[in-house]
Structure 1
C-alpha cells in the first residue's frame, strides 16, 4: 500500500495544504481550521482551558502536539464522518532528525497529547510511514497517536498505521491516567494498541492488516505494559476484531515489560467481543521476551464470540469467572469519571 492509497478513500483524496496560522470563523472559545491552515497553530493559539478546535474537511499533513497546559481541549472534525478530516505524517522510530538523532517510538507520533480532559472526535489520525519505502531503517515503529493525560476521550476516531498505531501511556510512572475510546476504528499490524494507561475500548473495531511476510504470527493486536500497582490495564468490551490477513495469522496480544519499568505486570481483558478468524484460536498469546512469559501476566477473556475466540486449548485462553467479570467493566476502570 502506498501513501496515496492509504489516504484516498479516507478523506476523499489528497488535499494540498499550507501552514498559514489563520482561523476562519473564529468565535468565542472556538477556533476553526480549514485546508491551507494549521491544526498545530490553532492549538498553540489556545489560551486557557475549555477551548474547541474545529477542523474542516481536508487532509492536514503535519505533526500535532498538545501540551499538558491545554486542559479540557476538544479537537473535532467539522462533520460527523471521520473520513472527512485526516491529520497525517510519516515519522518512524528510526527516522533521523536534523541533528542526527532519531525520533524514537513516542517521538514518531503524528498526534501527541499530555493534556488532561482532552476530547478528540470525528476525525482520522494516521501515520503513513511504510517499511517498504525505507529498507534502511530498522526502527519501524510509526505511531499515529501517543496519548497520556487523565480523562483522555476519543469518540468516532479512526487511527491508522502499521506498527504501534496507538500508544496509550501515562504522564508519569507513578500515575494511572485513564483513557476512553468509543466507536473508534484502529488498524495496524505489530503491537498496534500498546502502553501502560488504564485504557477502555468500548464498541471499537480493531483490524489487522495483511503483511507480505512468510512468518507467523504476523503481529499482535495488544501489547499492554501496565504498572504492577495498577489493577486496571487495557479493557476491550463489546468490540470486534477483524483481519485483512489469512486465518490465524495474528495473535491477540503479547506482554510488554519495558526496560525502564521491569516491574510492569501487563493487564489485558477482552470481553463480550467478536474475534474474527485472523486471530489464532489455539495460541492467541505469545511472548515479547522469554524472561516475561505471557502466562505470568494478567491476560483474561470473557464471553467472546467468533472463530478467533474458540477455546480449543483451555490453558491457552484464561477466562474470567462471573464474579471477576463484574470488576472488569468500563465503570470499574474509569472510577469517578463518566465520559
Structure 2
C-alpha cells in the first residue's frame, strides 16, 4: 500500500471532487508521470500528465469568447502544500459511478505510486434534481458539490428561477466563473471569516500577458465594453460574473497574487443588478472591477493600485476600503452621460506603514475617459489620502477637464472632524446638501434600480 492517505474513498464523493494524497512529510511534484482516473471497468476517463505542456488548460463554467468559441483557462492542476498533494481534474466526473485511481511512480518525488491493486476506489454521489433551487457546497465533501464552480455548472442555462448556492465554511482554492446564460444566482457563504474563495489568478496566468499569441477567436472577452483594452483582461479574476441578477453574500474572495504580481481582480462583474453584501474582497491591484450596475454594502475592500475600477455604475455604502500601499483607491472609466462610482458613508483606512499623503481618491485618464464620475459622500478618511485628493493623467492643453464629475461632500477625518478641502485639485468640486441628498439614493445612481 502507498505511504499516503488517499481521498476520496468509498461512496458519496462529489462529481467535482479534488483528489488528495496526504503524506506525513513535505513532498514535491516530479517532472513527469501520470495520474489516471478509471471507471470501474478500467476505462480511463481523466488523465493528469505532468509532461504534457497542455496539462494546465481547461474550460471553466462554459466560458465563451466574443467569437463564441470555448475559452481555455490556465490553471494549476496540481497544488502542493507541505505534505498534501491536491489534484484538480479538468472536468467533473459522471454521477452514480464507480471509479479507481492510479498514480505513476515519481508523480510525487520519491513515491512509488498507486496501482489498481492498492485500492484507491470511490463512488460518486447522485446529482441534485434538475431545476433544484438550492445547491449546497462543502470543500470537505459532505454536500452536493465540493467546489463552487461545480454548483454553477449544473444550473440550467437560461433558467428563470432564483437559485441559492449555499457555501459551507472552508477554503475553496478555485477560479469561479458565472456565464451570462446563468442569471438569478445567489452565492451565500457561512460568514466572511469562515468561507473563503481564493486563487492566485492574474494577468500573467490568464490576462493580456498570458494570452499573447493565443487565437483571438478563443480568448477575446465577451460583452466587451472598451474595444481596445478589453481584449483579454476578463479572465484574470478569482470570481468572474457575466450574468445579470447575481448576489454574493457572507464570504471572502481573495486573490492571493502577491504585491507586484500584476493586475489581479478578486471580483469582476459585467452584468446588470449585481449585489455584494457582507463580503471581503482582497487583492493588491484592481481588486474590484465593475462594468454593469453593482451595489456593494457592509463590506471590506483592500488593495493599493486602482483597487476599485471599471466602466459601470457602482454604489458603495457602509464599507471600509483599506490602502495596502501607495496608490489610488479608484480608476473609473465612464462615458460622459454614464453613471460612475458613488461612495456613501465609507471609511478610507490604511495598512501599517502607508505614509501620509500617499493615496488618492481616484485617477482619471483624460484622453479616453474625460467624462468619468466619482463621488464621495460622508466619507471618513485617514491622513494617507493626499490633500489634492484627485489625479488626472494626460493633463495639458489638449485635454478638456470640464466634463469630469469628481465631487465630495461631508468628508471627515476618521474620528469625525471635518476635513479642509481647500487643497483639493481644481478638477474636482464640492457638492451642496441638496446635491449630496440626491446621490444618497442608489436608484438615482443605478438607473432606477433600488437594491436596498
Shorter-chain TM-score category?
A: 0.7 to 0.9
**2:408 matched to which residue of 1?**
301
Paired with 1:19 and 1:119, the residues of 2 have a C-alpha distance of: 27
Residue in structure 2 matching 1:143, options 261, 265, 285: 265
Q: Deviations over 1:248-273 (max 9, x none)?
A: 22111111468xxx365110000011
Secondary structure at 1:42 match in 2: helix
Report the Cα offset of residue 147 of structure 1: 0.4
The answer on whether the counterparts of 1:92 and 1:104 sit within 8 Å (CA) in structure 2 is no
Paired with 1:192 and 1:296, the residues of 2 have a C-alpha distance of: 23
Could you say which structure has the higher strand fraction? 2
> Within 5 A, what are the aligned runs for 1:29-108?
29-36=133-140, 37-47=146-156, 48=159, 49-77=161-189, 79=190, 81-95=191-205, 97=210, 101=214, 104-108=232-236
Paired with 1:306 and 1:293, the residues of 2 have a C-alpha distance of: 32
Matched, 1:125 2:230: no
- Structure 2's unaligned 5+ residue stretches are 1-80, 93-123, 141-145, 220-230
**2:3 matched to which residue of 1?**
none
Stretch deviating more after TM superposition (159-168 or 83-92): 83-92
Q: Deviations over 1:278-304 (max 9, x none)?
A: 211x21111244365767521000111
The answer on whether the counterparts of 1:156 and 1:183 sit within 8 Å (CA) in structure 2 is yes
Paired with 1:295 and 1:94, the residues of 2 have a C-alpha distance of: 37
Secondary structure at 2:149 match in 1: helix
**1:322 matched to which residue of 2?**
433
Aligned residues: 300
Stretch deviating more after TM superposition (294-303 or 200-209): 294-303
Distance 1:293 1:116, change over 3 A: same
The alignment's C-alpha RMSD in Å is 2.9
Paired with 1:109 and 1:302, the residues of 2 have a C-alpha distance of: 32
**2:327 matched to which residue of 1?**
219
**1:235 matched to which residue of 2?**
342
Report the Cα offset of residue 309 of structure 1: 4.0
Secondary structure at 1:159 match in 2: strand
**1:279 matched to which residue of 2?**
385
The answer on whether the counterparts of 2:370 and 2:404 sit within 8 Å (CA) in structure 1 is no
TM-score after normalising by structure 2: 0.60
> Which aligned runs of 4 or more in structure 1 are off by greater than 6 angstroms?
13-18, 22-25
- Structure 1's unaligned 5+ residue stretches are 1-12, 135-139, 171-177, 211-217
Distance 1:315 1:278, change over 3 A: closer
Paired with 2:366 and 2:88, the residues of 1 have a C-alpha distance of: 39
Bigger CA radius of gyration: 2
Report the Cα offset of residue 19 of structure 1: 5.0
Paired with 2:199 and 2:272, the residues of 1 have a C-alpha distance of: 25
Residue in structure 2 matching 1:203, options 311, 318, 336: 318
Stretch deviating more after TM superposition (263-272 or 300-309): 300-309
The answer on whether the counterparts of 2:388 and 2:424 sit within 8 Å (CA) in structure 1 is no
Secondary structure at 2:204 match in 1: coil
**1:190 matched to which residue of 2?**
305
The answer on whether the counterparts of 1:287 and 1:293 sit within 8 Å (CA) in structure 2 is no
TM-score after normalising by structure 1: 0.79
